[in-house]
Amino acid sequence: MLNVLEKATQINSVSGSENEIRKFISDNVKKYCDELLVDAMGNLIAHKKGSGKKIMFAAHMDEIGIIVTDIDDKGFVRFSSVGGLNLRNLVNLRVRFANGVEGVIGAEEESFKDKPAISKLYVDLGAADKKEAEKTVSIGDTASFVGGFVKCGDNVVSKALDNRVGCAILMQALSEIKDCENDLYFVFTTQEEVGLRGAKTAAFAINPDIAVAVDVTDTGDTPSAPTMAIELGKGTAIKVMDRSIMCDADVRTMMIETAKKNKIPYQLEIMTDGGTDAGAIHLTRAGIKTGGISVPTRYVHSPSEMASVSDIENSVKLLYNIAIAQW
């Protein structure tokens, strides 16, 4: 699974430009499902048919990045954000466009220090002027951040663990499920980082009895971190709430009982900032009973997100057992 995760993280697929990661996932899951389709929003839906409860698992394929809004006469590229960016952490980072062209984010130093604003940032492509820059990038092109995949102790570090790790968990669980009564939908969603958009339409079409969103969550285990009872290496996290959802109590209880029964280490997650696909899913149609599995991750929305291998593996175990359980 880690080989798959490494390959997935290094694919550049910013929100709205998920073609490459969708093809990668499709190639890896098509032999494990009965039906595979892509909807109008670009969601990839892998269906494993059954006569039991209709269960939807969702993990978003897209990643944060930037989008070109202007190129000035000197060849410097101005941009806007795709997803939530910490402006103070962007200076001197590298970005890579879909065509492989890389650049460095610079800042109008004095004015940016006084009042950080995305309008004070630019991408330096090393171009001599606007004409040269326009040979490589155009208005509307998106770029992701550069961040290689490395092992760091018992952890992995990479860009786009948010949320290629969720995709890898769904892929691995799907490959392990052989016989199951439940009617399972593994949905790899689009445009989560810009408003939970793909999950909303997918949930409307599937109309599941139960849904579980798989994503990353912050931790409270680094120096001076905000208080949060989530640590790396202490188990998968079962979501209680975030800013987009109060998880269904019955689903949460079932997830906790499943973890206990199968001796899967788990933590309870309350994330006070941010949301996941669960937020859009549970408000679809007349409402859908929804829960969440989260992978504890440090340095979220950076090119160096860090997650524990054991937490990832335990997330797979929990999802697998939820999928085959009698609800």
Which is catalytic among the residues 63, 192, 231, 269? 192
CA atoms of 39 and 17, how far apart (whole Å): 14
162 carries a ligand binding annotation: yes
269 carries a ligand binding annotation: no
Check if 192 is active-site: yes
- Check: CB of residue 134 under 8 Å from CB of residue 128: no
Q: Under 8 Å CB-to-CB from 261, ≥6 apart: which residues?
A: 321
47 carries a ligand binding annotation: no
242 carries a ligand binding annotation: no
- Catalytic positions, written as ranges: 192
Known binding-site positions for Zn(2+): 60, 162, 193, 215, 301
